[in-house]
């Protein structure tokens, strides 16, 4: 067998006659489908909803476009290279995502880490000692991220071993420390600065990921100018043009197996054979709902899949505003705004706190400020989001529809009222309002409990021992995981990384 000339050429293939069924047309499924059709395989991509995208999708209401999942992504160089591989890079308008930061003590739009430090030092002069120590311990975590960046020159490549050694040093030092505990080393718990800094990332994520979170926010954060749905649509069209079959509004009922090997899927009671089945969807639902023979999983693995925590969901309010683009730009300044009051200390782990959303940090995002065509002429759009406690208030009403609607209406009013204090003019300009709970996100994205990024980022709640690598293999032969759920912390890069790993595996003929 000949070795491929380029180990990163995911279009290479030694066998081109495989029939592949992919479940889920999210970014992972779409990317993999394109790689495999490039290799010459016969690929069918099944999507339960009427449009592709999964968690990288959007929708329109009354002419206003809103994101229905992620707002942005990181690891730009890796993502852009993947799109170049697939010949679609020039069809997708990727742009940097910059943020405005607000609290009762500051309001600014720092463009880099140094400006962010200055913002905090000016806002909290009484915390200078703690901030100085915090910065001293955080900066090595940021610098170690450069070890993961592709070298731009031969000279930089010579430094890779040294950088990797530094990376591993800090990784082992902080891998089991949560960001909450890390922040508590420098600031009084429940103080405004403590409450703010412990939320620079996912709740209770591993502290060694803090450097990556900060690096991303200032140097490696991107979105799509035309909306995430346009990205999914480009990939879907490229897949069709390559001869692939995209079946929308076609939920897979079962993954079929024989003798411990995946052999196809069941659609509307019909058995469709396949040499390879790829689940580009939620890990839990793959094995707890779709697998036709659950006994293929060892009992301890079954329990682990069922009980491992997922990443936190969010609640989002969608607003269509009768405010012209130019005026709204003056109000919001940037499309993305992060607000943290700091003084309340909302506990995301308290699912019984009825007043949680009165205290939670807010994310404001305006698709129309990113692109005026994403709203009707002379109007603007706004999304108001807050991280939600896991299964808040008996999982949003305990299955009682009236209680669910009451909670949804109450939280919508709370977030709208809080946003109106930051942007007073929106109160009387609302033309359209809707909202999504974590259960809404689960219904439309398929992610368990509306998870925003696969499994929990808490180092003490791991599913995978290695939190970064893509784990595409499963206990069932010829069944792979091709979504963000292949890695602990998921995300767009996780989904694309899984797609590339599967493409490489199938392309090698092994």
Helices then strands (H, E): number in the chain?
A: 19, 19
- Condensed to tens digits (0 to 9), the pLDDT of residues 500-510 reads 999 999 986 54
In this structure, the number of other CB atoms found within 10 A of the CB of residue 322 comes to 14
For residue 399, count CB atoms less than 10 angstroms from its CB and return exposed for 0-12, middle for 13-18, buried for 19 or more.
exposed
pLDDT of residue 156: 63
pLDDT of residue 143: 83
- Condensed to tens digits (0 to 9), the pLDDT of residues 435-482 reads 999 999 999 999 999 999 999 999 999 999 988 889 999 999 999 999
User: What is the distance between the alpha carbons of residues 320 and 329, in angstroms, rounded to a whole number?
Assistant: 15
- Condensed to tens digits (0 to 9), the pLDDT of residues 63-84 reads 999 999 999 999 999 999 999 9
Separation in Å, CA 266 to CA 240, 269, 290, 464: 22, 6, 9, 29
- Condensed to tens digits (0 to 9), the pLDDT of residues 225-254 reads 999 999 999 999 999 999 999 999 999 999
**Considering only CA atoms, which of 27, 18, 69, 26 is closest in space to residue 49?**
26
Local confidence band at 384 (pLDDT 50, 70, 90 cut-offs):
very high
Pick the CATH number of 19-54+77-93+229-308+457-508 from 3.40.50.720, 3.50.50.60, 3.50.30.30, 3.40.50.10190: 3.50.50.60
Specify which residues 254 forms β-bridges with.
266
130 or 171, greater pLDDT: 130
User: What is the distance between the alpha carbons of residues 216 and 99, in angstroms, rounded to a whole number?
Assistant: 11
User: What is the distance between the alpha carbons of residues 383 and 364, in angstroms, rounded to a whole number?
Assistant: 6
User: What is the distance between the alpha carbons of residues 330 and 184, in angstroms, rounded to a whole number?
Assistant: 37
Q: Is the pTM of this model over 0.85?
A: yes
Domains of the chain by residue range: 19-54+77-93+229-308+457-508, 112-218, 312-449
- Condensed to tens digits (0 to 9), the pLDDT of residues 192-236 reads 999 999 999 999 999 999 999 999 999 999 999 999 999 999 999
In angstroms, how far is CA 280 from the centroid of its own chain? 14
- Which of 165-174, 318-327, 355-364, 479-488 has the least mean pLDDT? 165-174
Local confidence band at 7 (pLDDT 50, 70, 90 cut-offs):
very low
pLDDT of residue 368: 98
């Amino acid at each position: 067998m000949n070795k491929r000339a380029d180990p990163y050429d995911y279009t290479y293939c030694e066998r081109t006659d495989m029939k592949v069924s992919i479940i889920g047309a999210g970014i992972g499924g779409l990317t993999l489908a394109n790689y495999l059709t490039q290799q010459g395989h016969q690929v069918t991509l099944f999507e339960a909803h009427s449009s592709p995208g999964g968690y990288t999708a959007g929708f329109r209401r009354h002419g206003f476009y809103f994101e229905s999942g992620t707002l942005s992504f990181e690891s730009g160089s890796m993502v852009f290279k993947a799109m170049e591989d697939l010949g679609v890079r020039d069809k997708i308008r990727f742009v940097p995502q910059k943020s405005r930061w607000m609290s009762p003590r500051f309001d600014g739009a720092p463009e880099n880490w140094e400006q962010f430090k200055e913002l905090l030092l000016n806002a909290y002069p009484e915390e200078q000692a703690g901030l100085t120590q915090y910065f001293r311990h955080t900066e090595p975590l940021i610098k170690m991220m450069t070890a993961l960046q592709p070298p731009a020159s031969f000279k930089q490549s010579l430094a890779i071993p040294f950088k990797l050694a530094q990376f591993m040093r800090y990784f082992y030092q902080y891998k089991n420390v949560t960001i909450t505990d890390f922040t508590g080393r420098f600031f009084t718990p429940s103080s405004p600065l403590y409450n703010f800094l412990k939320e620079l990332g996912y709740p209770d994520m591993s502290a060694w990921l803090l450097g990556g979170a900060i690096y991303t926010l200032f140097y490696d954060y991107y979105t799509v100018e035309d909306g995430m749905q346009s990205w999914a649509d480009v990939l879907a069209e490229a897949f069709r043009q390559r001869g692939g079959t995209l079946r929308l509004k076609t939920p897979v009922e079962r993954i079929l197996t024989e003798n411990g090997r995946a052999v196809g899927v069941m659609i509307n009671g019909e058995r469709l054979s396949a040499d390879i089945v790829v689940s580009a969807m939620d890990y839990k639902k793959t094995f707890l709902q779709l697998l036709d023979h659950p006994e293929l999983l060892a009992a301890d693995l079954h329990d682990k899949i069922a009980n491992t925590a997922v990443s936190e969901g969010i609640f989002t309010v969608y607003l269509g505003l009768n405010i012209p683009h130019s005026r709204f730009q003056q109000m919001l300044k940037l499309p993305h705004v992060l607000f943290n009051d700091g003084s309340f200390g909302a506990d995301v782990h308290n699912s019984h706190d009825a007043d949680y959303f009165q205290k939670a940090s807010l994310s404001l995002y305006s698709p129309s400020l990113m692109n005026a065509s994403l709203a009707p002429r002379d109007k603007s759009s706004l999304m108001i989001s807050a991280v939600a406690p896991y299964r808040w208030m008996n999982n949003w009403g305990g299955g009682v529809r009236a209680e669910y609607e009451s909670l949804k209406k109450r939280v919508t009013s709370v977030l709208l009222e809080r946003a109106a204090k930051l942007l007073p003019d929106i109160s009387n300009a609302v033309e359209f309002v809707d909202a999504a709970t974590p259960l809404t996100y689960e219904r439309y994205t398929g992610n368990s409990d509306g998870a925003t990024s696969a499994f929990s980022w808490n180092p003490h709640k791991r599913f995978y021992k290695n939190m970064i690598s893509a784990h595409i293999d499963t206990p069932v032969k010829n069944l792979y995981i091709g979504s963000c759920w292949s890695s602990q912390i998921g995300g767009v890069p996780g989904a694309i990384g899984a797609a590339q790993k599967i493409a490489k595996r199938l392309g090698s003929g092994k």
